[in-house]
Structure 1
């Protein structure tokens, strides 16, 4: 009997695993495509430790809910990435994926991370065969692109906390990727996909091979994959997004019906444009407001659109002047960002003797993300000042300024000559481990291992704008006499007078296309940042039977672990000096977090085969952890499993969990960004700088988790399985950072938090918010409660099997609480992001249903995904909400997002061969009915839940030898 090398990731007999996937639906529920009820083998089979426990249990008798996504489901749905497969399950929120990373400038644009229960990816612990992984980015998350998906045999998803078993970060749950380290033979796959509009092209190729050697004492497996996803165009590439739908603050709103225009405070409407054009215009209050430059540099009238108030100018309008040809504050960004990755993995193991086995593994991956583009460089709300003595100023304009008795023109402009900035990232990850495991006296087993992981990341930003250089270039004057090397009367930058060698090249912004190529080159540049994460992990585990109890063996497990996580990163000199108008590259100072921990777990059977029931067992686990930077913690878990009979099972768990702060959250450096935000005091929008950064004094988060569930497999309905589990996860001292929008609200509400600076802006407007300051703190409390349902049913039909699988999730609450008493509810929100950066809205409930019919030589699978009607913004009140009035300051004309159902159709046909030696052709259509995102979503929609691509096709070939 061999001891599998899964080091704490839980295990089940080879044949018993297939049985477990059907026998207890909370674990799999025909996700493996199993067509009938299979009972587990007797206890002599090889064992696999179940995720969520360190004891030698099987997955069908765990008190912790475990959902298994198997390789058959992935192949039936023609999914090539395990991250995409898991993100379809309603308990996950696909926060990090190519369709949600388009606006992100980070260290891993092409990444795919997991987010259980909507609590943020950092609170979901991802394991590989029970072992932790080196982080893929500042957020301390793991990118699933780093593992070849074709070698993932199954994914076990644990609902609720598991810190007592695996340590920190398992607050929302654990995802354990179980690799097929026993593969024998060779398999390969090639596929190609394309959208109906000709973009979103995808190419995927994978191979894997495994064989035994030395008379079966050894086994080696090697595999790899290559994936290239070309992404899509920006929102102008889709009809649904070209409507330019958004929500415009009503500039004529008043709480007094006699003074209002009758519309609510926020208006949902099409054809929303930014008050910008490539020529330059005066949009703010000014004697020459409403004028724009023509091609000759003269001032001519500009036509403002609807819902624009000259007395309270904002950045948005409806329709307007024909010179506004694009959403200059939101253009160029792809709906789906391009990505490319390849991953390689090799695993070998050898039985040194009958009691000890050695194993080793080495993997490498490279993930390229981007390019993803930002909007056209622009200045809004009259941010550029053209002085009266500007050398490019036409005499007619100078005369108008003199007549108006003004000394400068406040210009808003989309700088089309400068283009837009683009971002790309590359992450390379190395991972290696060596382990020994074996058996000792009785049934006691042990394992020890050392694992090394390293991630090297690089982010590059191209075509960024230097803030001061740009302001200097625009401020052009005639050179006075006496400057060495400069002819008197020539056009120079004003700054050159004092510093003749500063290299400033003057820029003419009075008219479209006037900025010279030389000026563009002098005011734009490239940025970069690097990251290096290194993890060393040493661990040992021992488990077995303490003694035979009155109701069965009393088993225990103990273990120790020591690991170090080191992080550091550099950035280009200009970013470090904050010279760009938007800083996305920053330094990560060297930091090492050392962790020492030990755990113990015990299983106590209380009764077996009695009149009270078939079985009652109690599990208990405790772990003590010391963090060199973040303090000490004790985590624990208590669970019970009650089987009334073969048809009904109940289970309950209670746990205490922790999360350690990530390198990003501990980073003391800050970065400056700018956002157009609504100031509730004046009812207008303007650009407010936001200073964000980390906090080296953060403490551990604390999580409290309670789950209770039931499993039904009634004898009167063979092949039917159903599980329902309730979860309640509460996180105190949650680490988070306020978004600028919430910071503005708290600033104006008189909050005692030091989050804003108020004063007079450059245009002389008093009592303006000049900056909001947002840094990470242990300030929030998070609560996620809901119900998870998994069901399967299989019916023999016409010589084949008709299989039904249903995954459902109902969110009772997903709530955040802040120290000032404010609370935010994000359940049922599918329209906008939340007020705290790591918390976004989730649907009230979601369904993923798969119906498949399988014959020996072919199969057809239909998948249905449903996202119900949701709320646009919990802070707003619309006609659908109780207490609505158009005269409320938080009113909106439409506060609902329509529901959507997506249908995907896939099929495969065997070309030759039998069983595991075959070649098959497969293909599929995603979004069969070409369903657009809801029309009441803002601009680019919501890629978290709604498909931005439209109908797409995939075809491929798969072979096993």
Structure 2
């Protein structure tokens, strides 16, 4: 019979999951080894049993189920996934927690220094410890909110093979995993070696195959058809459209005047358009394939000296798929003699022009060219012809003929460690090690247009050759319906693009730990650990020419070239002192403390440097057997990472639902009108500026070489109850409080808007906050070549969160079966973010909005997981119940600007997401001592995800009209797993 699984245990001396075979407990969050150590900080333990019962494919799926962890980039993120998966403890950002493997760092992914969970070797993981509260004094910077430590099996012997496959009830999303682990002792038991090989694969799940996501739905109106204004046929800006009868439209109140769509027959521009439905092309589950190998060995050279090593290799490929590329309000020059521009379109281009003035600020319309000039220009085939004329206009045209935009991210990681350890005395151990790791991520983007090739192809004056004389150039038809762009045209205007991202980490560590051999009074000896560490980080982003200069149509802006690194030298120490033991009301009273000094040298001009000092104090008071009180207080820092130091300022995309300058609002508000014009909006387009396309707006920001370490104060206090009258029962309750000052942050899009437009009647065109916003001079919007919203990086931010963690585990023998119950509950009181002292101190717990997705997906107030298992002789039946509390639209996001908000209310049914409950059922059949069969049904009742439309959150987490990282968008699915052991 298999052991009863444990889901959320608390790491104490009595917790079997925390014990090594030599009975020396290594608690995550301390460097001191001691057989009687009890953690003063709460540690949630997820065992290998739970991972097996869940049928998880990668580590990110394991962590996503733990309350208190906010879903970050993972397998459910499509548009915004860079080929890696991250963890976000407490919702303060994946860059403020640390991921470890056997208590040591491994090579990170990207400029942020964050570990890619796709590389963790799950097959050999014995348990996963998630520690709440700063662990900076123990592990160094990056651990402000805590650490996640993947602990692998020790001294494994035998053969373990696992094969599993998963299929959704709708027949898609097939997943396959197989692992082979072989280990054994050698040299008469002096050594042990183990190697684990693994392969995983997952197929995509397209949003077009789920009812909720077939069509884009507006979060503001609830209407289907909301998508992207980059459509097919093309949308043409700056024209005088014709009505349905072919007559010029002169009434400025007609909707979308000047922003028109080519009629389906390609003959003319008409004063309405249909948004492009991009949903069916996008995916709820990213395709994934991984090969991985993990090996480790140890050998006793003498009775007191042991050599050990660890090696890890992983090659994984993540593919994202989004809707076809196109001209996204790209401003181009088109000759009036373009061979694909018919007379009606040409006459409309010639006839539309606007000048400010008229009645009540409504523009008047004047011809751009006379009819005679227009007719002569139609036949001018060369720029040297005096009749040659071009029009400069933004064009939006979805190039469905070129296929989807695919990004294939292939990450190759290797990381190895070698070291010696042994005993200095009977009570003091030493450990010296060195390690090196390197990660290379190569992104190959296909299906993207090359913007300058588009311009070259549009300057043609005959259908066969381009004015540039480039023999490869094929003139482009953007005026026809779908299919009018031929394969030859599509080949010329599109190209593959490659970006290479590399990181490396070199480490050297030395540690003395143990006890002093003496204690205070008759208490146990004082434990200690002292050490020194050297780390060298390097990272680079090396884009090709297309990506670096932002030439990819729909690529979100340039990918800057970045190269940087820094070194850090540290010394640290910890002490644990038992003060009283075996006394009335003081069964055990222990005090612990630690400190770390870090010296950073940045490889940059001027060789900037900074240092940091962190410390902690904590303690455990076991009042009587079975009842403990514990607490921990820490002053911590987080040093800026390479991206925060070295990334140049560049343009990218952010999320914005409402633009104050869009629509009719500035027409009758002279002050608002002046602000919009000062930001670059053409005066003649006031009243016709459109809302951000698909809820996305341009923004500009980057690194800042002047940022310094951010500071944090964290503390926890809690209790552990293991009552003697209820054997098998353990309860923990802990309060945590984390505050970050001088936080390295950027304003949210709502902050940038509010800084200028918080008071529509008093917004000043001369204010720095207003002038920092930069609009497209051709459309007045935040699209095309505009820089958009400012998001500068600084040390001006503040972060704050606090909450409660409740854990319960219970096991008992019912006679006919063994019962195991393990539960974990999190309640978050607050999660506040303020980018600068003048920005909004924004609360995001229990709310959803584009601004409240700044670090991850939704963070509800209540979350819980409860696993109940009945173990019979040959069969185990286990049910996992996960609860997600209800959430509502962020109040500031729901309030219009005129009322001090930053957007507008969503469609009434979309303003609240009800509480959700998911159930997973697993049956484990112990066919023999060597063979086990598991069958799991995830989302047992096929609970559908909430419908909120496509602008309710940030693009990465609000996709397919829902939040697929928080709620299950795949539906009921079945996993079959076979384990063979020898």
1:604 Cα deviation (Å)?
A: 2.0
Aligned residue number for residue 514 of structure 1: 484
CA contact (8 A) 2:557 2:653 kept: no
For residue 399 of structure 1, report the CA deviation from its aligned partner: 4.6
> What is the distance in 2 between the residues matched to 1:121 and 1:888?
26
Distance 1:403 1:312 in 2: 11
Match of 1:828 in 2: 845
* Residues 617/399 of structure 1: CA separation in 2 closer, same or farther (3 Å cut): closer
* Partner residue, 1:254: none
Change in CA separation of 1:635 and 1:432 when aligned onto 2, cut-off 3 Å: same
8 A contact 2:529–2:573 mirrored in 1: yes
Q: 2:546 aligns with which of 558, 570, 574?
A: 574
Contact 2:296–2:309 under 8 Å retained in 1: yes
Compute the displacement of 1:324 (Å). Answer: 7.7
Supply the distance in 1 between the matched residues of 2:498 and 2:783 (Cα, whole angstroms). 37
Q: Quick one: which of 914, 918, 937 aligns to 1:902?
A: 918
Describe the superposition over 1:220-274 as per-residue Cα deviations: whole angstroms up to 9, x where unpaired: 11112110011211x21100112532224xxxxxxxxxxxxxxxxxx34444344
CA distance in structure 1 between the partners assigned to 2:9 and 2:903 by the alignment: 49
Q: Where does 1:134-213 land on structure 2 (aligned, <5 Å)?
A: 134-213=107-186
Write the distance in 1 (CA, Å) between the matches of 2:600 and 2:942: 51
**Alignment equivalent of 1:549, drawn from 520, 532, 535:** 520
Which position in structure 1 is the counterpart of 2:892? 875
Say which SS state the counterpart of residue 346 (structure 1) adopts.
strand
| CA gap 1:733/1:208 in 2 versus in 1, 3 angstroms | same
Q: Which moved more, 1:176-185 or 1:821-830?
A: 821-830
Indicate yes or no: 2:500 matched with 1:500: no
**Equivalent runs, 1:945-960 vs 2, <5 Å:** 945-960=966-981
Q: 1:922 aligns with which of 931, 934, 946?
A: 934
Q: Could you say what secondary structure the match of 2:315 adopts?
A: strand
| Residue in structure 1 matched with residue 796 of structure 2 by the alignment | 779
Asked if structure 1 preserves the Cα contact closer than 8 Å seen for 2:922 and 2:935, the reply is yes
State the match for 1:50 in structure 2: 27
Q: 2:724 aligns with which of 691, 708, 715?
A: 715
Matched, 1:891 2:897: no
The structure-2 alpha-carbon separation of the partners of 1:211 and 1:351, relative to structure 1 and needing over 3 Å to count, comes to same
Partner of residue 390, structure 1:
338
User: Pick from 352, 356, 366: which aligns with 2:301?
Assistant: 352
Task: Give the deviation of 1:714 after TM superposition.
Answer: 2.0
Cα distance between partner residues in 2 of 1:290 and 1:872:
39
Residue 826 of structure 1 and its aligned partner are, at CA, apart by 4.7
Name stretches of at least 5 consecutive residues in structure 1 with no aligned partner. Answer: 1-17, 249-266, 292-297, 316-320, 479-489
Match of residue 736 from structure 2: 727
Contact 1:831 1:897 in 2 (8 A): no
Partners of 1:66 and 1:158 within 8 A in 2: yes
Give 1:391 deviation, angstroms. Answer: 2.7
Q: Tell me the distance in 1 between the aligned counterparts of 2:974 and 2:488.
A: 45
**How many residue pairs end up in the alignment?**
874
In structure 2, what is the equivalent of residue 838 of structure 1? 855
CA-CA distance at 1:169 after TM superposition? 0.6
Is residue 592 from structure 1 mapped to residue 565 from structure 2 by the alignment?
yes
**Cα shift readout 1:435-494 (whole Å, capped 9, x = no counterpart):** 11111224111111111111122111112212232133234335xxxxxxxxxxx6654x
1:280 aligns with 2:234: yes
Which of the residues 506, 530, 540 maps onto 1:536? Answer: 506
The question of 1:797 aligning with 2:814 is answered yes
Shift of 1:740: 4.5
Q: Distance in 2 between matches of 1:763 and 1:83?
A: 42
CA distance in 1, matches of 2:807, 2:85: 24
Q: Which residue of 1 aligns with 2:317?
A: 368
Q: CA–CA distance in 1 between the matches of 2:274 and 2:835?
A: 42
1:97 counterpart = 2:50: no
Determine whether 1:526 maps to 2:532: no
Which secondary structure state, in structure 2, belongs to the residue aligned with residue 376 of structure 1?
coil
Give the whole-Å Cα distance in 2 for the aligned partners of 1:418 and 1:433. Answer: 46
The aligned runs of 1:287-298 (5 Å cut-off) are 287-288=240-241
* Higher deviation after alignment, 565-574 or 209-218: 565-574
Q: Does structure 2 conserve the Cα–Cα contact (< 8 Å) formed by 1:285 and 1:310?
A: no
State TM-score, norm by structure 2.
0.82
Residue 724 to residue 163, structure 1, CA distance change in 2 (3 Å): same
| CA distance, structure 2, for counterparts of residue 566 and residue 289 of structure 1 | 58
Structure 1 position 61 matched with structure 2 position 31:
no
Go from structure 1 to structure 2 and tell me whether the alpha carbon gap of 1:377 and 1:778 turns closer, same or farther (over 3 Å shift).
same
Cα distance change on mapping 1:364 and 1:289 into 2, 3 Å: farther
Per-residue deviation, 1:682 = 3.7
- The answer to whether the 8 Å contact 1:31/1:805 transfers is no
Match of 1:74, SS state, is helix
Deviation at 1:958, TM superposition (A): 0.5
Contact 1:569-1:588 at 8 Å conserved across structures: yes
Cα distance, 1:287 vs structure 2? 2.7
Match of 1:242 in 2: 214
Taking structure 1 as reference, are residues 604 and 19 closer, same or farther at Cα in structure 2, changes over 3 Å only? farther
**Which stretch of structure 1 is more off in the superposition, 377-386 or 847-856?**
377-386
User: Which has the larger displacement, 190-199 or 512-521?
Assistant: 512-521
- SS at structure 1 position matched to 2:108: coil
Matches of 1:461 and 1:53, distance apart in 2:
44
Gap change, CA 1:424 and 1:738, over 3 Å in 2 = farther
1:468 counterpart = 2:421 = no
Deviation, 1:846, is 0.5
- In the superposition, relative to structure 1, how do residues 942 and 836 fare at CA in structure 2: closer, same or farther (>3 Å)? closer
Instruction: After superposing the two structures, state which structure 1 stretch, 555-564 or 749-758, moved more.
Output: 749-758
Give the match for residue 228 of structure 1: 201
Over 3 Å counting, the alpha-carbon distance change for 1:385 and 1:831 in structure 2 is: farther
Deviation at residue 890 of structure 1 after TM alignment: 3.4
Contact 1:189 1:959 in 2 (8 A): yes
1:706 aligns to what SS in structure 2? strand
Q: Does the 8 A contact of 1:850 with 1:864 survive in 2?
A: yes
CA positional deviation for 1:125: 0.7
Which residue of structure 2 lines up, in the alignment, with residue 336 of structure 1? 285
Secondary structure class of the residue paired with 2:284: coil
One of 738, 741, 755 as aligned partner of 1:746? 755
Residue 847 (structure 2) pairs with residue 811 (structure 1): no
CA shift for structure 1 position 141: 1.1
Q: Deviations over 1:753-791 (max 9, x none)?
A: 598344672158999976334343323211111111111
Tell me the secondary structure at the aligned position of residue 468 of structure 1: helix
For 1:947 and 1:381, the matched residues in 2 are separated by 35
**Cα distance, 1:434 vs structure 2:** 1.1
User: Structure 1 residue 285: deviation in Å?
Assistant: 7.2
Structure 1 CA distance for aligned equivalents of residues 777 and 933 of structure 2: 65
Quick one: structure 1 residues 753 and 342, their matched pair in 2 at CA, closer, same or farther if it must change by over 3 Å? farther
CA distance in 2: counterparts of 1:274 and 1:332, whole angstroms = 13
SS at match of 2:479: coil
Shift of 1:716: 2.8
Per-residue deviation at 1:704?
Answer: 1.0
Greater mean deviation of Cα atoms: 405-414 or 437-446: 405-414
When residues 691 and 527 of structure 1 are mapped into structure 2, their CA distance, relative to the original with a 3 A threshold, is farther
Matched, 1:662 2:641: yes
Preserved CA contact (<8 Å) 1:833 1:841 = no
Distance in 2 separating the partners of 1:929 and 1:28? 36
Per the alignment, residue 386 of structure 2 pairs with none
Quote the Cα distance in structure 1 between the aligned partners of 2:528 and 2:813. 43
Contact map agreement 2:751 2:839 (CA 8 A) in 1: no
SS at structure 1 position matched to 2:755 = helix
Cα distance in 1 between the residues matched to 2:841 and 2:780: 35
Per-residue deviation, 1:873: 3.1
